[in-house]
Amino acid sequence: MSTNSNQNTAAVGLSKLIKPALNFAGIVGTVGGFVADVLSPIGPIITYLIYISIGVLIISTAILFLLPANKRNSLKSVSVTSLFFAIIFVLFGQLNEDTENGFLGDNIEFVAEFQSTLNIIDEKLDKISDQVAVVDEKIDNIDNKLDQGFNDLAELIKTSNPIQNPSTPKDYLLNAYLYKNGGDLKKSESSFLKFFELTESYKIDVLADYLDVIGSLNGRLYVKTFFETTNSNDEVFKLFKTIYTSENDEIINNIKKLDINTNLIDFGIVQASNNANFWNSLAFKGIETMNQTAIDLNEYQTRLFDKGLADLAYLIINPLNVNRLLYNPVNPTTTFISFYYESATRTQEIVPLPKFQKKKLAKNPKDR
């Protein structure tokens, strides 16, 4: 009988502890989660709330064991309430994950409009501008400058905000670089893909930068997987696909076989050989093979830098981003081909010395 009485008492006590905490946490947590979801474009507010709730739970629980029994009641409520907060915020966090403007902002139109009126998306993307009018003026300037050939794209990336509702290829490309520069690689990836989809073409530097993004997100091996699972008749795409899916000992011949612009072939040969692994694989075949390869490839390099790069200007948006594809990262003024070509020509200029002939000694010491 006493056992049942104790159990009933414990159940009543637990109920008294949980119900107020659940009511309070349910109301405040739901409102807080809703607000945090709406304001999520500013930053990962829900994540912060989860950490705070868990932190309070851990601290209050730890203190709970240190206090005398008669002083634990109030702290028990804090622990239970923070537990419910953490659960609620985790649920909101799951809904909010992989969304651009929060679960509510992405799925409920009036919430998206509300976010827009608050300018909170602009606040997240760039703290420079606080007024929609200023942002609109910048976007107009961006459109005009992009029409001039993206010559100042690097400067635009430093001074502009990502566009809230991109619609043109220019919008998506600028957003791709702004997100990339800001470290939001997932949004950068999707913006690059939208740019490719709308233009149905690839620029040399843009495709290279996109490969950097997906390589950073998924690992360098994913770049090869991307080309193995994607097809396009675009000449730049064909060139990059050949480079990233060929083995070192086949890559040059595979590029030469491509039915694409001759200048692109020259570019691809210089780019494909612009890494130490390519030359290391040649070194295993012997110094003569490596030297001869450098001499052979120098022809393509000379033609590229004489006129080819200028002819490829229509496929390049930012020339500075192209330089890294062609030049040795350790010495940004020299290509790998130039380095090994100079070494090969120096080797050829060395004239072999005549072998030392020993003078035969006479058998008779007097004749020596």
Summarize pLDDT for 230-256 with one digit per residue, the tens.
Answer: 989 999 999 999 999 998 889 999 999
Phi, psi torsion values for 232, nearest 5 degrees:
-160, 150
- How far apart CA 57 and CA 78 sit, in angstroms, is 8
Average pLDDT over residues 206-214: 93
Q: Looking at residue 165, what is its pLDDT?
A: 86
Q: Which residue has the tokens 């192209």?
A: 322
Domain count, the chain: 2
Phi, psi torsion values for 332, nearest 5 degrees:
-70, 5
Tokens linked to 350: 């060395």
- How far apart CA 93 and CA 170 sit, in angstroms, is 33
At 61, the pLDDT band (50, 70, 90 cuts) reads: confident
Question: Which amino acid, one-letter code, is at 139?
Answer: I
Q: Which residue has the tokens 């619609």?
A: 167
Residue 53 lies in a domain: yes
Residue 287 lies in a domain: yes
Question: Which amino acid, one-letter code, is at 65?
Answer: F
Q: Are 161 and 128 in contact (CB under 8 A)?
A: yes
Query: Coil, strand or helix: which one is 348?
Result: helix
pLDDT above 70: percentage of residues in the chain: 56
Average pLDDT over residues 105-113: 60
Tokens linked to 75: 């702290």
Half-sphere exposure of 244 (CA within 13 A, CB side): 22
pLDDT digits (tens, 9 = 90+) for 296-331: 999 999 999 999 999 999 999 888 888 889 998 777
Using alpha carbons, list the distances in angstroms from residue 131 to 35, 62, 127, 198, 279: 22, 47, 10, 30, 54
Residue 166 lies in a domain: no
Q: Looking at residue 301, what is its pLDDT?
A: 94
Question: Where on the phi/psi map is residue 184: left (φ > 0), alpha (ψ -120 to 50), or beta?
Answer: beta
Average pLDDT over residues 159-185: 85
Residue 336 lies in a domain: yes
Query: Coil, strand or helix: which one is 40?
Result: helix
Residue 303 lies in a domain: yes
Using alpha carbons, list the distances in angstroms from residue 214 to 156, 189, 296, 305, 352: 23, 7, 33, 29, 52
Say what the alpha-carbon torsion angle 43, 45, 47, 49 is, to the nearest 10 degrees: 160
Q: Which of 51, 86, 118 is the last residue of a domain?
A: 118
Residue 219 lies in a domain: no
Residue 167 lies in a domain: no
What is the span of the domain harbouring residue 269? Answer: 245-348
Q: Which of 118, 148, 163 is the last residue of a domain?
A: 118
- How far apart CA 6 and CA 115 sit, in angstroms, is 53
- How far apart CA 193 and CA 18 sit, in angstroms, is 50
Residue 125 lies in a domain: no
